[in-house]
Structure 1
Amino acid sequence: MLDNNLDTIINKTYIIDKTPLNEEKIKKVIISLKDSIISSKEEITAANAIDIKNHNGNIIDFSIIERIFKNINNEKIYYGNVTTLKKDNNKYYGKQYFDKGNVLIFNTGNPYIILEIFLKNFLAGNTSIIVTTNYAYGLNKLLETIIKTVLETNNLSPDFINLLTTDAPEELLKNNYANIDLVIALGNKSFQNKITNYSKVPVLLSGYETFDLYIDEMLDKTFLTKIINLHLPMHVYINKNLKIDLRGSMLVDGVEEAIMQINYNGNGYSSAIFTSNDDNAANFISKVKSKIVTVNTSPTIERLMDIQVKDLVLEKTVIYPNKKKN
């Protein structure tokens, strides 16, 4: 069941007035949103506790939220930006950036992803229609409410973000929504494939916040247990010669099979190997096709979203005459 009707949401986002949106306004909203989340910490913690009690969420980590805002502050605001690249005797050359429009985002309900992908779309001037499962439902709806309130306080439409839930995301894609300009799938490979197979518009894929871990040797059982107990989406592969088996893990013959499994079934975001064998480590680094590869440390160490604001804007080349003064 959907919380909201997608047609209704699209109709509202289609008529959003983006005239007030500029670099100064965008910066002000982001600062206001960070302050609002900090001031709502007690309320957020309470909503999170209810989700956890219902076995429907993990403990919220405010340091991750802090990191998200820090990363956003390092991003360039592209919306409405015009950049002069070069000029010759006769012409100026430049780039103009503008929003893609309505972005339909599919993920499994990770609250950090919801916050970060909204912020990046907002920097691009896009509207975010975020489709999730019921995971962390209470916390995610509260985040949506906080964001909408901040937008309205800054005289912007609250419909820059809309959250809806469904247990069948592919059903939304069976209709040809003319006013959806981009689809984003954030999740594991099977989730990405499901969205790609049904989408009728371009799809941007990311395995952000999903991880692959290969245990070639049990170097530090306490550390590895701590990583696994983070309860993040993670595929774990274990060398069968270790004679250990963790629930939900896959036993493999060695590093070559681990590499093959990760490249075929993995998430393409961040992968780690634990080994004292330098050759196995080098082989893993050179052959695994993930965007981040680590050795003897957690695959979660570098949790940066691999979708950039520039991926979310349209780019126009501008050429105009250089009028010389006599």
Structure 2
Amino acid sequence: MKLINTELKNNVLGSMMRILDERREDILTANKKDLDAFNKDNQALYDRLVVNDKKIDGMIQAIAEVKSQDDPVSNEISNTTLDNGLNIVNKTAPFGTIMIIYESRPDVTIEAAVLAFKANNKILLKGGKEAHESNVVLVECWHQALQENKLPKDWIKMLVMNRTETQEFLKNPTEPLDLIVPRGGERLIAFVKEHAKCAVLVSGRGNNFLYVDKDADWKKTLEVIINAKTDKISGCNALDKVLVDKNIEDYESKLKDLDKTLSSLGVEIIVDKNVNAILSERDLISKDEVWFEEFLAMKIAIGEADGIEDAISKINTYSGGHSSAILTEDKAVATHFMENIDTAAVYHNASTRFTDGGQMGVGAELAISTDKLHHRGPLGLKQLVANKYYVFGDGQVRV
């Protein structure tokens, strides 16, 4: 794949910022068509679909932030000269072509493409049909920016395919394909893993847990739970499950306080059998599968934990590997929890809502990876490169 110099890449991004601003009305009109056609029964997906002036400002800001970042390509990782005289240099290199499959969010069409392009990758955008009209206009903007700078449009492509056509493309891609990022729920991830013939980087599923330790500050705990649950229910970093240590002082009264607080905010509460003995009016969690669910709704499950090891075991069994949190004033306990929890991000006395590229200092993100290869957590600009070895010799042969 041809390497584009940094100045030219940044010129494209500068053009794109101007074009988005100029074509606001086109973008908003297209998005209105998507919103009018959408079934509003799924509030989380609807929220993700909405584009307004603030959202367009956010798209422009995301591009500006990436434009200001250093080019991640051809940076030296290591440089070693061996006894035989070979000079071995390891440098960052583009992946090649990245395909992202995502639902509902038109802003992903901007963030995914700006990151891939600045890292010198081509990107194939397979958005959901619910955002089709919005995505068409946004990709038109990208193509205009590329053409203004005398670059071919195929750096950024929009794929319009049904499920069967997508399956066939994954099995037999019609062009080189180096990495696929399915950004969505379990069904999408399973579908891509089953059919893809190249590397797949899993992203998007939340099902985040928060453990209330026996030494938690209760006021702080309530504030964190409220934010993590209600700030944005459509976020993959929203809270789904709370485990309360049964050894906490005034356990019963604290459970009732948590129940009252969340229900007053419109949160549906379901509980395990131990908590149900105290919160008897709440629906009982009927099957084990519920603990694996990501709700994406004003809904939360509250369960009992018999100490930190019980909490760690439950979280590592059921969570989506995205984010988890502990509320405690005991730093040693927090450290033990954080070192033993198997999620991409783990928090001490803070909301899971911070698992976001912008909030974590990474900048715009392609997704939140819950995989362990090649990266875990927010996929920002620096994470969208691979590496390549350059070996310089003077006639050396291996003996």
Asked if 1:40 corresponds to 2:32, the answer is no
CA contact (8 A) 1:121 1:309 kept: no
Cα-to-partner distance string for 1:160-186 (whole Å, 9 max, x where unaligned): 112234563762456333732322223
CA contact (8 A) 1:84 1:95 kept: yes
Given the superposition, is the C-alpha separation of residues 84 and 256 from structure 1 closer, same or farther in structure 2, using an over 3 Å criterion? Answer: closer
Asked if 1:214 corresponds to 2:217, the answer is no
Given the superposition, is the C-alpha separation of residues 183 and 223 from structure 1 closer, same or farther in structure 2, using an over 3 Å criterion? Answer: closer
Given the superposition, is the C-alpha separation of residues 222 and 182 from structure 1 closer, same or farther in structure 2, using an over 3 Å criterion? Answer: closer
Asked if 1:149 corresponds to 2:153, the answer is no
Given the superposition, is the C-alpha separation of residues 265 and 63 from structure 1 closer, same or farther in structure 2, using an over 3 Å criterion? Answer: farther
In the TM superposition, 1:185-264 aligns within 5 A as 185-188=182-185, 191-207=188-204, 210=206, 212-214=208-210, 216=212, 219-220=222-223, 223-224=227-228, 226-229=230-233, 231-233=234-236, 234=238, 236-239=240-243, 241=255, 242-243=258-259, 245-246=268-269, 247-254=298-305, 259-260=312-313, 262-264=315-317
Bigger CA drift: 163-172 or 29-38?
163-172
Asked if 1:171 corresponds to 2:167, the answer is yes
Determine the C-alpha separation between the residues in 1 that align with 2:340 and 2:200: 26
CA contact (8 A) 2:98 2:121 kept: yes
Candidates 84, 102, 119, aligned match of 1:107: 102
Of structures 1 and 2, the larger Rg is shown by 2
Determine the C-alpha separation between the residues in 2 that align with 1:251 and 1:58: 31
CA contact (8 A) 2:66 2:118 kept: no
Given the superposition, is the C-alpha separation of residues 175 and 199 from structure 1 closer, same or farther in structure 2, using an over 3 Å criterion? Answer: closer
Given the superposition, is the C-alpha separation of residues 157 and 71 from structure 1 closer, same or farther in structure 2, using an over 3 Å criterion? Answer: closer
Determine the C-alpha separation between the residues in 1 that align with 2:180 and 2:158: 15
Determine the C-alpha separation between the residues in 2 that align with 1:118 and 1:277: 42
TM superposition shift of 1:303? 1.4
Runs of at least 5 residues in structure 1 that lack an aligned partner in the other structure: 1-16
Residue in 2 that maps onto 1:24: 7
Runs of at least 5 residues in structure 2 that lack an aligned partner in the other structure: 41-45, 213-217, 245-254, 270-297, 358-364, 366-377
Instruction: Give the aligned residue type for 2:154.
Output: D
Determine the C-alpha separation between the residues in 1 that align with 2:309 and 2:347: 16
CA contact (8 A) 1:151 1:158 kept: yes
TM superposition shift of 1:98? 4.6
Residue in 2 that maps onto 1:125: 120
Candidates 379, 389, 392, aligned match of 1:316: 389
Residue in 2 that maps onto 1:7: none
SS of corresponding position for 1:116? helix
CA contact (8 A) 1:51 1:136 kept: yes
Instruction: Give the aligned residue type for 2:89.
Output: G
Given the superposition, is the C-alpha separation of residues 39 and 310 from structure 1 closer, same or farther in structure 2, using an over 3 Å criterion? Answer: same
TM superposition shift of 1:155? 0.9
Determine the C-alpha separation between the residues in 2 that align with 1:310 and 1:48: 30
CA contact (8 A) 1:23 1:77 kept: no
TM superposition shift of 1:237? 0.8
Bigger CA drift: 141-150 or 43-52?
43-52
Given the superposition, is the C-alpha separation of residues 26 and 236 from structure 1 closer, same or farther in structure 2, using an over 3 Å criterion? Answer: same
SS of corresponding position for 2:393? strand
SS of corresponding position for 1:114? helix
Cα-to-partner distance string for 1:197-237 (whole Å, 9 max, x where unaligned): 221112223338x56253747613764564144x3244511
TM superposition shift of 1:94? 2.7
CA contact (8 A) 1:207 1:268 kept: no
Bigger CA drift: 301-310 or 166-175?
166-175
Given the superposition, is the C-alpha separation of residues 146 and 59 from structure 1 closer, same or farther in structure 2, using an over 3 Å criterion? Answer: closer
SS of corresponding position for 1:249? strand
Candidates 29, 37, 50, aligned match of 1:58: 50
Instruction: Give the aligned residue type for 2:208.
Output: D
Bigger CA drift: 264-273 or 146-155?
264-273
